[in-house]
Amino acid sequence: MYAVSLSAVALLASLLPTTFAQTTTACQPLNTTGCPNMEALGGNVTLDFESGYNVKIWQKPNAGEIKGTGENGTAFILAKSGDSPSLHSNFYLFFGRMEISEDLDEIDWEFLGSNNTHLFTNYYGKGNLTMGDRGYEYPVDESPFDDFHNYTIDWTKERMQWIYDDKVIREVKFDDALPGGKNYPQTPMNIRMGCWAAGDMDKNAIGVVEWAGGSTDFDQGPFNMLVKSVYAKDYTSAKEYSWEDMDSSGTWEKVTVIGKDEVSDIYKEITKAHGVDRWKALSTTAKIAILASVGGVLAVGACIFAFCCVRQRNAGRKEYAAFQAQQNQEAADFETHKEQWANRSSKYARL
């Protein structure tokens, strides 16, 4: 099976199977000083993905091919074990439209390739990974994988919304995420999109494979996730965000906004029409359109498509190990929750 997750989060794993929470960070700003500043988007942009992506705007940290296909957007291709093609934006949003943060704040859309009846949403605050009350599954009438759809995250200090095409399918208010917004994502995030084989037996804990819907049969691949465009709007006008005054509270009030009347280099790069590379600015306001197409039969093959806004962009072996450990924990939590939910009649189960 494959899972696709779209998250605006803090750390949607740059490395690998980006699923569940991408909660690892090389410089944890809540208990460390000197974490690097983050380049602000500071405005709104539409990025066209028809002919690929701009390497000045996106980092590609993992294995797996990502290439433009023309009218159907950019394909994130999951062809073999170990692939987890993903892109992480070099810009950050401090509240915004679309997607996620480095102290492990995270907002996610997730798509399971083995499940075409539900959309999955999740969020994490400060890396708190306890499962249970944050995930939410939304039933859809038609398979989301047969066509392109807009997956939007609208994130303000007051509330965050997940919007499927034009419908708000979920809203979480600041105080809903524990009193005082303790679990509420509220620090600058970048956007992360990726696809991974959650059903890859060699890479994931058994609970993850089960969550994915079974073991991934790469012979039925490649599994593609297609992204047509990304719309991002930063609700803060700035050149940079800094952690210099951050403390263990992790609150938005402690984020330093630098250069309110200036624009960042990355914003200039993006808005430079028909700029270098193969990327071009569009005048339309397309949000995020995604088509996750499963080559061959579904059932097996996992692709997790993730959009996240993360502040942290470093990834390495250490993070990978931490991520795996986390996944194992989440897999265990998942099992517990699956049982709990199995005993309910609610149509919304949680992962």
Check residue 280 for interaction with ligand NAG (CB under 6 A): no
Full 3-state SS string of 243-270: CCCCCCCCCHHHCEEECCCCCCHHHHHH
Site for ligand NAG, residues 288 to 317, rule: CB under 6 A? 289
**Could you tell me how many residues of this chain bind ligand NAG (CB under 6 A)?**
32
First to last CA, the chain: 15
Say if CB 218 and CB 79 are below 8 A apart: yes
Least separation in angstroms between CB 227 and ligand NAG: 13
Among 158, 165, 247, 262, binds ligand NAG (CB under 6 A): 165
Beta strands in the chain (DSSP E): 3-9, 38-39, 44-48, 58-59, 65-68, 74-78, 86-89, 96-97, 106-112, 118-124, 136-139, 149-155, 159-164, 167-173, 190-196, 223-227, 229-234, 240-242, 256-258, 289-293
Check residue 34 for interaction with ligand NAG (CB under 6 A): no
Region binding ligand NAG by CB under 6 A among candidate stretches 54-62, 90-98, 132-140, 258-266:
132-140
Catalytic residue among 110, 137, 210, 330: 110
Task: Give the residue carrying structure tokens 């047509």.
Answer: 228
Q: How far apart are CA 118 and CA 109, in angstroms?
A: 11
- Nearest to 208, CA basis, from 304, 347, 107, 101: 304
Least separation in angstroms between CB 152 and ligand NAG: 9
Check residue 46 for interaction with ligand NAG (CB under 6 A): yes
Check residue 72 for interaction with ligand NAG (CB under 6 A): yes
Q: How far apart are CA 125 and CA 116, in angstroms?
A: 28
Among 33, 248, 249, 285, binds ligand NAG (CB under 6 A): 285
Give the residue with the Cβ less far from ligand NAG, 165 or 247.
165
Site for ligand NAG, residues 191 to 250, rule: CB under 6 A? 213
Region binding ligand NAG by CB under 6 A among candidate stretches 86-94, 200-208, 243-251, 281-289:
281-289
Query: DSSP string covering 179-197, please?
Result: GGGTTS--S-BEEEEEEE-
Judge whether 106 counts as a catalytic residue.
Answer: yes
Check residue 97 for interaction with ligand NAG (CB under 6 A): no
Task: Catalog residues that contact ligand NAG under the rule CB under 6 A.
Answer: 28, 31, 44-46, 69-72, 114-115, 117-118, 127-128, 130, 132-133, 137, 149-150, 165, 178, 182-183, 213, 283, 285-287, 289, 349
